[in-house]
Structure 1
């Protein structure tokens, strides 16, 4: 039985392809049941988020899972194959540990993925596809993630512009969870920022873009809503945090627009983050009393301060994961020996039963109990030693030393 991980994520596939193979949460249990029913898969769990669709399975035929994934979503296998990764046992375990610890996330160290993995395990258990192997793996995964987060600073320091935008906003607002956040643009940087802010659970998350369709597609990933850039003058005053990053050659948000927004907000503070070069937000806006405007240079200072400590945290986290992978694989290998251990014990018990029945029969005839017990012990010893003795006697040439050493280790014999 092979343990492996298969799927695609933000490292291997664009969002347009990730969307096509994503699973709806309310349909995951049925999908898992289908997988184990239609393919020779013994255990399975599916992790499906906006950034990844990954399947963790135990099967003799890993290739059939990729085939099933394509069939289930009605896409050609050839279309997704170049973007799929298939990780065998050791690599699969390490991958799961890294994902749960936030080392493989678009937002390094983000905590939401751990909850999503726990949900994946629960759904697999409800579907009846979480067997002994995957159950143990998930439990170890959660334990590793907890150790990484509690003993390293993986989530404590800022190492990206997107994370810095959140950190600077938190200097003004104690809790992002109470604020409305507006993103202007729908490119990669806005996507990263939205992922960071979404992790804080804002009161509202909105994407404004020149093309409404593109804004709606990005907003849907974070359970937000969308507006066009034409609606900015009217809507701006509703938002506490505004993050802008477009390719516009001229500012999109001008001084007059913000002054009107502040008037409608009754001068409640507003954080504005301009990640665009050239700028999207007019520089004069920084002079307004109730606006806290941050530029790319401001964010760069925050990032620089966090890089050194975060790098050490990643090193520490990887060391923890490497050790835990080794421990889990040791458990798997010990589990592989269970059938042989069971067979050995069953064979020994058969020999014991045979000698016991012979002894009981002799006692029933009135023979001396001491002689019967002596004969029982000798008979049991002879039968138990028969196989290893034959194994030693059959060894020839250079194998004699190897066989002899093996038997000595097996029976814990004194080498002296």
Structure 2
């Protein structure tokens, strides 16, 4: 039985595809049971987030998993196959270690993914699709992620615009959990920012976007409200933090709009993060008292400060992961020989029992105990040595030389030279 990882993520698939293969939480148990129903897949767990959908499973026929993924979501394989990756055994183990450690995330080192992997393992456990292999894999995965985070600086420095935005907002507000956040736009950058700000559990989130369907998809992930772009001016004063990133050729938030909002807020501070190029927020807004306006260049300075140490941490994390992959595969290889070890022990026990029974009969007939013990030991030796001796004698040429070296190593004969 081999381990595999199959899926797609933000590296390989656009949001429109990721949305179509995402698993709704209420359907996850049904999906796990359906995946393992035919028994070609023996163990399975499903990780489904806004940035990735991945199957971790044990099987001898991995090609069936891609077919199943497409069928479950009422898609053809040709629709999803260009975006899929499949990792066998070693690569699968390394992949899940990297995912849980935050090395495969849109934001390197982000901590949320570990909780999502733990939730995937828990759901598989509850559904009864977690066997020995996956149980051991996830145990090792969580240990590796903990080691990476505790022994490297993988999560200590800010290396994304989104994380920098949160960092700058935290300079102004003591607790982001007391603040109301407005996102203008619903593209990938806003999606990333929403994930970061949502991690700080703000009081309320609203998404304003031209395309309502895209705004609804983003808002649904974070329990946010949705509004139209042309209504921003009427409600701007309600928000403490505004993050904007659209493709508009002209500013969406003008100086007059913000002046009215500041007046209505009675000079309560407002953080505005403009990630758009060209700007979404008029430059002059930054001159207003009580408004803290940050642009892409401002955030880049924060990001640059953390890059060097984070890059070193990634190198250290990869070394830890590679080492732990070897350890896990060694355990798997050990499992592969367990049936052989059991068979060997059973064979030896059968021989022992036969010789012991023969010795008891001789003793019952009054035979000399010393002679019986000698016969017992010789009988065991002859029977145990018969198979390897026969194997060596039947070998020829290079095969005999290989057999000889193997037996010398097996019985540690070289130490007696």
TM-score, normalisation: structure 1:
0.96
The answer on 1:324 being equivalent to 2:324 is: yes
The equivalences for 1:136-285 within 5 A come to 136-285=136-285
> For 1:75-123, what per-residue CA distance to the aligned partner results, in whole angstroms no more than 9, with x for missing partners?
1111111111111111101110010001111121111111111111111
- SS at 1:75 equivalent: coil
1:367 positional shift: 1.9
Aligned length: 416
Once residues 408 and 122 of structure 1 are traced to their aligned partners in structure 2, the CA distance between those partners, rounded to angstroms, is 47
After TM superposition, the structure 1 stretch with the greater mean CA deviation from structure 2, 80-89 or 158-167, is 158-167
After TM superposition, the structure 1 stretch with the greater mean CA deviation from structure 2, 141-150 or 364-373, is 364-373
**What CA RMSD, in Å, does the superposition of the two structures yield over aligned residues?**
1.4
Once residues 181 and 373 of structure 1 are traced to their aligned partners in structure 2, the CA distance between those partners, rounded to angstroms, is 87
Q: Which runs of 5+ in 2 are unaligned?
A: none
Once residues 87 and 49 of structure 2 are traced to their aligned partners in structure 1, the CA distance between those partners, rounded to angstroms, is 19
The equivalences for 1:86-97 within 5 A come to 86-97=86-97
Once residues 312 and 175 of structure 1 are traced to their aligned partners in structure 2, the CA distance between those partners, rounded to angstroms, is 31
The answer on 1:82 being equivalent to 2:67 is: no
1:39 positional shift: 4.4
Once residues 175 and 409 of structure 1 are traced to their aligned partners in structure 2, the CA distance between those partners, rounded to angstroms, is 66
1:191 positional shift: 1.8
Kept in 1: contact 2:154–2:314 (CA 8 A) = yes
Once residues 267 and 113 of structure 1 are traced to their aligned partners in structure 2, the CA distance between those partners, rounded to angstroms, is 38
Q: Which runs of 5+ in 1 are unaligned?
A: none
Kept in 2: contact 1:254–1:285 (CA 8 A) = yes
Which ranges of 4 or more aligned residues in structure 1 deviate by more than 6 Å? none
> For 1:8-67, what per-residue CA distance to the aligned partner results, in whole angstroms no more than 9, with x for missing partners?
111111111111111111221221112111341111111111111110110110011111
> For 1:239-298, what per-residue CA distance to the aligned partner results, in whole angstroms no more than 9, with x for missing partners?
111111122222211222222222333322111111122221122222222111111121
Once residues 155 and 37 of structure 1 are traced to their aligned partners in structure 2, the CA distance between those partners, rounded to angstroms, is 40
TM-score, normalisation: structure 2:
0.96
Aligned residue in 2 for 1:362: 362
Kept in 1: contact 2:107–2:159 (CA 8 A) = no
Once residues 199 and 237 of structure 2 are traced to their aligned partners in structure 1, the CA distance between those partners, rounded to angstroms, is 23
1:310 positional shift: 1.0
**Cα distance, 1:178–1:366 mapped onto 2, change above 3 Å:** farther
